[in-house]
Amino acid sequence: MKKRTLGFYLRIYFKILAQDLKSKMSYRADFIISTIGMIFTNIAGFVSFWILFRNFPSINGWSYYEMLFLYGFSLVSMTPVQCLFDNNWSLRMYVYSGDFIKYCFRPINLFFYFQSEVFDIKGLGQLAFGIGTIAYAWSHLGIPFTFIALLKLIVFIATASMVMVALQNAAAATCFWIQNSFYILDLTVKFKDYAKYPITIFSPVFKFIFTFIIPIAFIAYYPSLVILRPDSVPLLTWFSPIVGIIAFFLSYKLWMFGATRYNGTGS
C-alpha cells in the first residue's frame, strides 16, 4: 500500500468532517438542545463547587479557585475525546452487527477512518466553558500570565487529553473480544468524574489506582500543577507528557490489534 502523508489524512479528514457537520445541521433543534444540555451540565459542576466552598474554605489545602482551575482544566483536556473520538461508543454495535467489516477494505488507516466519521460538535461548548473557567480561576489566583505559562498550559492539556482518549480507546476495543463491552466502556468513562479532584484527597489505595492503574490523575491533577503550584511541582507532573503519549500509543495498538483480527459477525 502506498504510504500516506499527514497532508493526505488532513485533507481526507476535513472532507469527512464537512459531510458530518452538514448532516448534523439538518437537525438543528437536536443540536441546539443537546448543546444547551451540555452547557447546563457543566454549569451544574461549577455550582456544586460554589456550594461546597460556601461551607468549607478549603479541601485538604486546596482553595476554591484552585479546585475551579482543576475543573476547567479537566473539561478542556476531555474535549478531544468528546469531539474526535465519540464514534468509540458505536464501535461495539458495528462489531456485533458485522457492519465494521466495511472499514477493513478502505486503503487508509482503519483507526483514522473509523474515528473521523463522527465529530461531536457539542464538545465545543464544553471547550468554551472549560477555557472560561480556567481564565476565571486564573485571574483570581493571582498567577502571572506569561507566554511560557500559556505554552505550558497548552502542552500539558494536549498531552493530558491523550490519557482520556487512551482510556476510552482501550475500553472500546474490548468489544472485539467481550460481548458485553459497553459496561467496561461506561465504567471507564465514568472515572473521568474523579479527574476534577486533586489526588491528595483520596486514600493511599485510590491514589495508587488513579496514578498507576487507571491514570486519571494525569488528566488534570498532575499536569495542572505546572500552573497552580510551579514552585513545588512533583516529578510525576513532568512525566505527564510521556504518560499521555505512551498511553495513547498502547491504546491505539490494542484497538488496531482487535480491528485487524476482526472476522465479521461473531468475532
DSSP for 8-68, written as a single string: HHHHHHHHHHHHHHHHHHTTHHHHHHHHHHHHHHHHHHHHHHHHHHHH-SEETTEEHHHHH
The answer to the question of residue 265 being in a domain is no
Asked if the structure places residue 203 within a domain, the reply is yes
Q: Is residue 191 domain-resident?
A: yes
Q: Average pLDDT, whole number, for the chain?
A: 87
Distance in angstroms (rounded) separating the CA atoms of residues 78 and 62: 22
pLDDT tens track for 55-98: 777 777 888 899 899 999 999 999 999 999 999 999 999 999 88
Confidence of residue 165 (pLDDT cuts 50, 70, 90): very high
Q: Which of 30-44, 68-82, 196-210, 253-267 has the lowest mean pLDDT?
A: 30-44
Mean pLDDT calculated for residue range 117-125: 85
Classify residue 120 by its DSSP letter.
Answer: -
pLDDT(207) > 80: yes
Domain span holding position 110: 6-260
Residue 26 placed within a domain: yes
Query: In angstroms, how far is the first alpha carbon of the chain from the final one?
Result: 26
For 56-122, where are the alpha helices, taking DSSP H only? Answer: 64-77, 79-84, 88-97, 110-116
Reduce the DSSP state of residue 267 to 3 states and report it: coil
266 lies in some domain: no
Beta bridge partners of 62: 59
| Percent of the chain with pLDDT strictly greater than 70 | 93
Between residues 139 and 191, the one the model is more confident about: 139
Provide the pLDDT confidence category of residue 53 given band limits of 50, 70 and 90: confident
How many distinct structural domains can be found in the chain?
1
Task: Judge whether 1 lies within some domain.
Answer: no
Average pLDDT over residues 2-16: 80
Q: Is 49 within 8 Å of 71 (Cβ atoms)?
A: yes
Least Cα distance to 245 among 161, 182, 178 occurs for: 161
Looking up cell 494536549, which residue turns up?
Answer: 158
Q: Is the residue at 184 inside a domain?
A: yes
* Residues 194, 202: Cα–Cα separation, whole Å: 10
Indicate whether 267 belongs to any domain: no
The model's pTM: 0.87
Instruction: Evaluate if residue 175 carries a pLDDT over 70.
Output: yes
> What Å distances lie between residue 181 and 88, 156, 185, CA to CA?
11, 31, 6
Section 180-185 average pLDDT: 89
pLDDT band at residue 266 using 50, 70 and 90 as cut-offs:
very low
